[in-house]
Each structure stands twice: as C-alpha cells, then as structure tokens.
A and B are shown apart, each in its own frame.
Chain A
C-alpha cells in the first residue's frame, strides 16, 4: 500500500492472545490521517479485537502499535444499557472528563444535538431512549472533544433504515474532519464511507486495499417496484420509494438511461468500492 499522507496509525506484526487463544497475529498496516477505513471479516474473525487494540482498550501481546495521537474516540457496538444519566447530562459529564465545562461547550453541544436530531430527548434518561438515539449518543460522546481518530464497532447494528441513513449522513460529514475506522458487515456503510478496507480472516489482516472504484451506486426514486425486477439488478437496496443500485461502471450509463426512461428520478450517482 502506498501511503502519501501523514500516518496516524501504524501496526507492525501485531499479535493478540486472549485466554491463551490467538485472536490476531502478523497484523501490519498503516492508516493515513483523514482516511476512512472499513474493517471487514466474518463473525469471530477478530475485527472488534483489532478495533479495541487501536482504541487502546487492549494492548498487543507482541508487536508494535504506534498511535500518532492521543485524541481517540471510541463507539462500542452496543451502547451501554444501564447508564444512569439523562441524555444531555451524560454528554456534559463526558465533556467534563476532557476539562470542557458545560458553559464552554453549550453552543457546540446544541449544534451536535441538532445535527443528530435528538433535541426531544435531551432530558430523557438514557435507559428510556431508543437504540437509534443511544447509537447517536454513542457517536456524540466520542466526537465531543474533537478526536483525531474515530473508531466505531458495527455502528449500524440493530438500527432501522431511517436511523441508518441518518447515521450515514452524520458519518459522511465527520469523515472530512477526522480519521474514521469502523468494523462492519454492511455494504451500505463501506460504499458510502470507506476509502480503504482491512480484511480480517482467521486472525490475520489479509488484504489492505485502496478503494479505486469499479462500481457506481445510483440512488433513485421509483414509481413502482415491479419494473425494477425486470432489470435483473444484482445489488439493490430499497427503502420505501428509494432504491440504491450498485452496478459496474461500464453498465451504469445504460442503467441510468433505462431508469430515466421509466420515470425514475435519479437523485445521486457516486462511485463505490
């Protein structure tokens, strides 16, 4: 892999054992500042362990991990169920860990709360908030102090499609400001956010690819579902009257023409990995 920007994370021959079983070994890679990296792999492959190593929750059993920053935000897969705080109170408490007073961060916190669309819940106990709201709070607690690296463990898990889209929009905004690394099973997240992928298999990082796209994702509003079936599309994700269609680049123009001919509104065309 060719690294052109400032390296913010560098792993050299990392190994991690937990309870005498090897979870990860021979893991080496570099991640540039402001890169968005997806960590992919099957269940139990060691994705979350790798993320926790990067976060500093775990220490490597051997090997070297250089973090060129101390400002790291971490979002767990499942936001804690038993936090005994109201939403805003919790965020103010987390900000205070970094020496930021409530007055100092009032404006910024209000902006974030508005951006995340959680104003109605600021005085709701976290235990009573929905999973989507908790997931947003999970991200907020991690970005409040403006980290250089944001680590997310399966951020879309258990969210409905609306919440997934909201979260996606938030992450797209954040990826211009910080390095984002996330584990995921969802193509949706990789397509929209990642510009490189770490594949983890059997405890090893097998491939580290730069993402030069050979596919396009077309977002359309369609008048009826039936004709989409006629097009024999292999990768399609539908939400109400919206469809996200992934096609090889060489076939995208043809498909666009077909969609327009059938009264679809093309809302977005972008490259994917």
Chain B
C-alpha cells in the first residue's frame, strides 16, 4: 500500500491540482485569524468547515485524476479496492497536514482570547478530522458514482455541502426533510457543539453525536466502496 500511496501522492502533487484548494485553505485561515482575541472553539469550528470544503475539493480532484488507460492499469496492478483506499488515505493525509496548520497557526500567533487547554486541542483535532472525513465522503460520492452525470459533479458536491451546512434552517422550515437528510453527513450536529465557547457542553450528548458521526462515516465508506466496485464493473 505504501508504494501505491507514494505513487498517487507524487502524481497528485505534480499535477499542481493541490495548489488551488491548499491556497484557498491557507488564505482563509490567515484571514480568519487576522484579528486577535478570538474565541477558541468557534474559531476551530470555522476552520473545520473550511477544511470540509477543501477536503471535498481535494478528494474530487484525486478521484478524477487518471485517464482511463492509467486507471485500468492501476486496477490490474493493485486492485480496485486498494486503488480507492489509496485515494482516501491521501485525502486524509493532506487533510491532516492542513488541520495541523489550522490548529497551530492561531496558537503560534496568540490569536485566542484565552490560553489553549489540552481539552481545546483534543476537541479541535476531533472536529477537524470528522469534517475532513465528511469532505472525503462528499467528494468521493460526487466523483465516483453514476447517479450524477459527470458535468454536474461539482454542482452536486456544492449542493450537498450547502444542505449539510444549512441543515438546521431547512429542517426548521420543512421538518419532513429531516428523514431525507439523514443520508447526508451530520455536519451541523457536530458543529453546533462548538458555537458556545465553553467546554462544559461536551458531555454525554456530544459523545453520542460523535459516535454516530463515526458510525455514519464507516457505513458511508462501505457503501461508497460498493458503489465504486459496481460502477467500475
């Protein structure tokens, strides 16, 4: 797997397709912490949402990187499952690097209004990782399934992102959609905990929501893998 990841990573980096999403992310973080004295958790919530957008972008890039002949060769060389796992792992590794920047940048600049505690760090890592996973899921779904015609893949990704971020508002107006939207990543459910800048909110309910988010991700990855294998059969 190491060889495949190195190959796909080199191929992605050398395509220069990483520059737009990475630059967008870096600029956004710099702008976000332009002012000092900001709240810790809500700032990390914002940077995790940006990571969600950027990881979707990156995973869409990665999933549509090879031309047909290269993809066919890779299928034979490493198998279809490892091919897709490689892309997910690279998306995650890039997301982790971006996450480390997003977490450490405000600390280094002393942008927060109070000192960062270990609990803040733990929660910020968790939220960034969860939203990066959601981004990979949305990007992969839009790129590898045939439900969406190729020319609408970006549009569908933007639509899913919009729905997942405005979930509360939509459900408030049309409560029936709550059940339809259960297929989308529970972004808002997790983010909402980070709005008040107080670690006291993170109790049993947060653990349940986080566990649900993880379970959702595991199921979604399995479903995506099956869809991919069906698509490429």
Q: Which A residues fall within an 8 A CB radius of B? A: 52, 55-59, 72-74, 76-85, 93-99, 138, 141-142
Are A81 and B67 within 8 A (Cβ)?
yes
Contact (A55, B76) CB under 8 Å given A76-B69, A79-B69, A84-B15: yes
Are B3 and A80 within 8 A (Cβ)?
no
B residues in contact with A76, CB < 8 Å: 69, 72-73
Closest A residue to B65 by CB, please name it: A82
Are B69 and A59 within 8 A (Cβ)?
no
Contact (A99, B3) CB under 8 Å given A84-B11, A94-B77: yes
Q: Does B66 contact A (CB under 8 A)?
A: yes
B residues in contact with A93, CB < 8 Å: 3, 6-7, 10
A residues in contact with B75, CB < 8 Å: 55-57
Binding site secondary structure of chain B: helix
Are B233 and A80 within 8 A (Cβ)?
no
**Closest beta carbon of chain A to B33's beta carbon, Å:** 34
**Given contacts A76-B69, A84-B14, could you give 6 more A-B pairs where the C-beta distance is less than 8 Å?**
A56-B76, A77-B69, A80-B67, A84-B10, A97-B78, A138-B73
Are A96 and B3 within 8 A (Cβ)?
yes
A residues in contact with B4, CB < 8 Å: 96-97
With the chains together, A74 CA to B77 CA distance in Å?
8
**Closest beta carbon of chain B to A25's beta carbon, Å:** 16
Closest 4 CB pairs between A and B?
A: A96-B3, A84-B14, A80-B70, A59-B233
Most chain A CB inside 10 Å of its own CB: which residue of B7, B14, B233 = B7
With the chains together, A52 CA to B72 CA distance in Å?
8
With the chains together, A95 CA to B75 CA distance in Å?
15
With the chains together, A94 CA to B7 CA distance in Å?
8
Q: Does B2 contact A (CB under 8 A)?
A: yes
Closest B residue to A89 by CB, please name it: B10
Are B76 and A72 within 8 A (Cβ)?
yes
In the complex, which of the residues B2, B7, B76 contacts A74, with contact meaning CB atoms closer than 8 Å?
A: B76
7 contacts between A and B (CB under 8 A): A56-B75, A57-B72, A74-B72, A79-B69, A81-B67, A96-B3, A96-B4
With the chains together, A73 CA to B76 CA distance in Å?
7
Q: Which B residues fall within an 8 A CB radius of A? A: 2-4, 6-7, 10-11, 14-15, 66-67, 69-70, 72-73, 75-78, 232-233
In the complex, which of the residues A57, A81, A85 contacts B76, with contact meaning CB atoms closer than 8 Å?
A: A57
B residues in contact with A74, CB < 8 Å: 72-73, 76
**Closest beta carbon of chain A to B189's beta carbon, Å:** 38
A residues in contact with B77, CB < 8 Å: 94, 97-98, 141
With the chains together, A59 CA to B80 CA distance in Å?
12
With the chains together, A96 CA to B6 CA distance in Å?
9
Closest A residue to B15 by CB, please name it: A84
With the chains together, A72 CA to B79 CA distance in Å?
11
With the chains together, A76 CA to B72 CA distance in Å?
8
In the complex, which of the residues A58, A83, A85, A141 contacts B233, with contact meaning CB atoms closer than 8 Å?
A: A58
In the complex, which of the residues B7, B67, B69, B72 contacts A96, with contact meaning CB atoms closer than 8 Å?
A: B7
**Closest beta carbon of chain A to B158's beta carbon, Å:** 27
With the chains together, A84 CA to B15 CA distance in Å?
7
**Closest beta carbon of chain B to A124's beta carbon, Å:** 15
Are A80 and B10 within 8 A (Cβ)?
no
Are A82 and B70 within 8 A (Cβ)?
yes
Are A80 and B7 within 8 A (Cβ)?
no
Closest A residue to B4 by CB, please name it: A97
A residues in contact with B67, CB < 8 Å: 80-82
With the chains together, A113 CA to B166 CA distance in Å?
57
With the chains together, A56 CA to B79 CA distance in Å?
9
Contact (A80, B2) CB under 8 Å given A52-B72, A93-B7, A97-B78: no
Most chain A CB inside 10 Å of its own CB: which residue of B3, B75, B76 = B76
A residues in contact with B70, CB < 8 Å: 80, 82-83
Contact (A85, B73) CB under 8 Å given A96-B3, A97-B3: no
With the chains together, A85 CA to B3 CA distance in Å?
14
Closest B residue to A55 by CB, please name it: B76
**Closest beta carbon of chain B to A24's beta carbon, Å:** 14
With the chains together, A44 CA to B73 CA distance in Å?
21
**Closest beta carbon of chain B to A219's beta carbon, Å:** 33
Are A80 and B15 within 8 A (Cβ)?
no
With the chains together, A81 CA to B67 CA distance in Å?
8
With the chains together, A58 CA to B7 CA distance in Å?
23
Closest A residue to B13 by CB, please name it: A84
With the chains together, A59 CA to B2 CA distance in Å?
27
Closest A residue to B74 by CB, please name it: A97
